[in-house]
Structure 1
Amino acid sequence: MVTYIAGSGAIGCRFGYSLAKNGKDVVLLDNWDVHIKAIQENGLKIVGDVEDTIQIPIMYPTEATREADLIILFTKSMQLENMLQEITHLIGEGTKVMCLLNGLGHEDIIRKYVPEKNIIIGVTIWTAGLAGPGTAILKGKGSVNIQSLDESGVEKAKEIVQLLNESGLNATYDENVFPSIWRKACVNGASNATCALLDCTVGEFFGSENGFNIARAITHEFVQVGLASGIALDEAEIMAYVEEASIKAAHHYPSMHQDLVKNHRPTEVDYINGVIARKGPQLGIKTPYCQMITDLVHAKEAVLAIR
């Protein structure tokens, strides 16, 4: 099975490393020049829970030629459509495309390039970081939950679950994965943009009464929009999950902080809080916190001249 990792940043490297160590035929795709060069010249270096170096193919998406059996999407949300355009030549009639991106609504973009019967949507709580180009920081444990969007793709999706589990990625087939996707989106919605705007860790944000109240209000908006969209969510359970996640990640700067504050790169806010700000009014639900958060992040991007 030929597997491409489309978007080989931190989490893409984690999945690529796990698959390659298990002898799977996996290729990393990315557009970050120095990252590609570092891995091509020195291999993918792993630090954290283990220290290792593995030789693994990596290239620009347009350089790949073999038709894919499986493509795992790990781009940033705003890069998704461009990546799909660049890998169209790799997508055959039977190619399965699996999306594990943060945020909401990615399946609507993927449908423009991939038949629904070949789309697998999911969520992962594996984490990773980059120490620099070509070096991934892998710590802790995680899991993957996936679902085929079309009933005809269920058996193939279950084969992919087996592929991931053979590589230690702790995958499960889920008959209804969307509540899990929304639950993770609630965590990101409460902490990602807020920590970026306040230049603080998750623990510092949740450690104040004001911060905690803001997180609760954001979560309420997510849950109300989710319920109105037909997603089965329990607000008390979701808030408890958000709190638990904040404790586990107390010393962590979320990815949006790394993008906005550290690296002055565009953020994924439109696919997290921005989704709620857009959908809420359409459903007759007020979403003032998510609207303000989205506006503030874009204002900060403008101040920093980020495009």
Structure 2
Amino acid sequence: MKIAIAGAGALGSRFGFVLQQAGNDVTLIDGWPAHVAAIKEHGLKVTLDKDTYTTQIPVMFPKEVTQNMAMDLIIVFTKSMQLDQMLQDIKPIIKDHTKILCLLNGIGHEDIIEKYVPKKNIFLGNTMWTASLVGPGHTQSFGSGSVSLQNLVAGNESDAEILAACLSEAGLNAQYTDNIHYSIYRKACVNGTMNGLCTLLEVNMTTFGKTTPAHQLVTTIVNEFAAVARHENIELDVAEIVSHVENCYDPNTIGHHYPSMYQDLIKNHRTTEIDYINGAISRKGQKYGVPTPYCDFLTALIHCKEDIIQDNEAVTN
């Protein structure tokens, strides 16, 4: 299968590597010059637990794609706020048969993707795989993970199952689900707790889990997600999801991982996806008349931290 990874950062590079190793024709597309240059010059370096591999893999900037690079599948791994521009830039490789699998954190990305492909070619999913960038051209992952995905339009279940099989052949533990919106909200609860809280406290998930208020904070935030989801006919199992989040603390699995929001803001001084995670719950809460004070406050605090870091950089420069 001809596959493009649109947004080949930490997790996109990991997926691209294992899909290539499984025999697919994979191209990485990313906008970070140092990352693209490192892969072109030295190959993509991938550390999976304790083992490190290097592979030659095609990589390019979004505006370098051409009409003759038609893709069977595009997996989008951009940041939420970058999705629309990425798809606009890579329109030449999107053909009538091209499927798009969205594995982004957050809620509501199908509204953007529908501008570029028909609904029948859109597949939504989420992944519990994690990854971080050691540096340009080098991605690192610990522990195991999984992928759940579903077709957006009823009747395309077989296509979704084929995509899941392709990912599973690469060791990504993918499965078809008939309730992806539940899965997306469940994953959003992990992002809505671990991302913001670990970023504000500047700790990994194990360290956060050792704090006294951790359980109360996670439970309260998950309850806000559940209250909003209920207005969209999605009934979240709060106790199960809180337990699912707290499993992230385990240092023997992914507990030592710093969430992607931490990597964006604290490590790389980039703006975050908070408006598509807790911020999305705040907006939906206003729409449905549901109070979401913890998500409101967490979103505001992350924006404060973004402003502080940007101001400090401006003074330094």
CA separation in 2, counterparts of 1:44 and 1:220?
41
Q: Which residue of 2 aligns with 1:296?
A: 301
Superposition map of 1:1-307 within 5 A: 1-49=1-49, 50-65=51-66, 66-247=69-250, 248-305=253-310
What is the identity percentage for the equivalent residue pairs of Structure 1 and Structure 2?
50
**How far apart are residue 218 of structure 1 and its match?**
0.9
Deviation at 1:11, TM superposition (A): 0.7
- Structure 2 SS opposite 1:81: helix
**RMSD across aligned positions (CA):** 1.6
User: C-alpha displacement at 1:256, in angstroms?
Assistant: 1.1
Q: Is the CA contact 1:205–1:212 (under 8 Å) kept in the aligned structure 2?
A: no
Q: Alignment partner of 2:98: what SS?
A: strand
Structure 1: which 5+ residue stretches go unaligned? none
**1:124 deviation in Å?**
0.8
1:290: Cα distance to partner?
Answer: 0.3
Q: 1: CA distance between counterparts of 2:120 and 2:263? A: 35
Q: CA deviation at 1:28?
A: 0.4
Question: TM-score, length-normalised on structure 2?
Answer: 0.92
Letter in 1 for 2:294: Y
Q: Secondary structure at the match of 1:265?
A: coil
- Cα deviations across residues 67-89 of structure 1 (Å, max 9, x unaligned)? 11100001111111111111112
Cα offset, 1:18, TM superposition: 0.7
Q: Secondary structure at the match of 1:305?
A: helix
State the distance in 2 between where 1:153 and 1:61 align. Answer: 29
Kindly tell me the number of residue pairs found equivalent between the two proteins: 307
The separation in 2 between residues aligned to 1:262 and 1:129, in whole angstroms, is 11
Amino acid at match of 2:199: A
Structure 2 segments unaligned to the other structure (5+ residues): none
Structure 2: how far apart are the matches of 1:120 and 1:169? 16
Any conservation in 1 of the 2:205–2:248 contact (CA below 8 Å)?
A: no
1:48 and 1:167 map into 2 onto residues whose CA distance is 14
Q: Within 1, Cα distance between the matches of 2:117 and 2:179?
A: 20
Given the two structures, how large is their TM-score scaled by the length of structure 1?
0.95
State how far apart, in whole Å, the 2-side matches of 1:42 and 1:250 are.
30
Whether contact under 8 Å (2:102, 2:125) holds in the other structure is: yes
Instruction: Choose 259-268 or 135-144, whichever is displaced more.
Output: 135-144
Counterpart CA distance in 2 for 1:124 and 1:36 is: 24
Secondary structure in 1 aligned to 2:175? strand
